[in-house]
């Protein structure tokens, strides 16, 4: 028998807690390491290809500013409402996923942990701490050239990984069901 609290399996609750802890710990490190230093200071991990550099995001993914669509709502309230809606939707999705659909459940857990991690920043600072900065080799198509990837954080990594798991889940579930029928 599996332990469940509020309909969430213990392993997924532990995954949520670990992801949230990693996100907040790395953001606290970045903030403490770069606080008060010039914005262009960075730590090279692999030259200019991968480095750590403090940045703040007052928008959402890729610095898009959906809050500007409703300027009469304070920014913190806007993101709190969006976060609440996302939390409700993800918990509903988690509970509706079949117990054997571990990819979907892990994906929803990671998305939720990343979303909550960024919401914590918004309440604490009014913006999200980003610090992972990647570059690309020169890529251009006609007049268009790929620039540096937007600076991100571990919460963003968890959200994208979670989305990937949710999108791949039907393929793995179908494959598992196909193998069970053959056996």
H, E, C per residue of 20-72 = HHHHHHHHHHHHHHHCCCCCCCCEEEECCCEEEEEEEECCCHHHCCHHHHCCC
Q: Please say if 101 is a catalytic residue.
A: no
Q: Please say if 133 is a catalytic residue.
A: no
- Catalytic one of 23, 101, 130, 133: 130
- DSSP of 84-125, one letter per residue? HHHHHHHHHHHHHS-TT-HHHHHHHHHHHHHHHHHHHHHHHH
Annotated catalytic residues are 130, 156
């Amino acid at each position: 028998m599996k332990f469940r609290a509020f309909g969430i399996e213990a392993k997924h609750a532990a995954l949520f807690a670990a992801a949230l802890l990693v996100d907040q710990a790395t953001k606290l490190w970045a903030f403490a390491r770069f606080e008060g230093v010039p914005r262009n200071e960075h730590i090279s991990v692999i030259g200019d290809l991968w480095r750590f550099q403090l940045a703040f995001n007052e928008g959402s993914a890729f610095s898009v500013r959906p809050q500007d669509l409703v300027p009469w709502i304070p920014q913190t309230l806007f993101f709190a409402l969006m976060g609440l809606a996302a939390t409700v939707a993800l918990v509903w999705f988690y509970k509706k996923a079949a117990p054997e659909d571990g990819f979907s459940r892990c994906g929803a857990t990671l998305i939720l942990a990343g979303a909550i991690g960024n919401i914590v920043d918004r309440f604490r600072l009014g913006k999200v701490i980003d610090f992972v900065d990647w570059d690309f080799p020169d890529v251009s198509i006609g007049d268009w050239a790929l620039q540096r990837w937007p600076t991100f954080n571990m919460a963003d990594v968890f959200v994208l990984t979670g989305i990937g798991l949710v999108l791949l889940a039907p393929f793995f579930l179908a494959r598992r069901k196909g193998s069970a029928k053959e056996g």
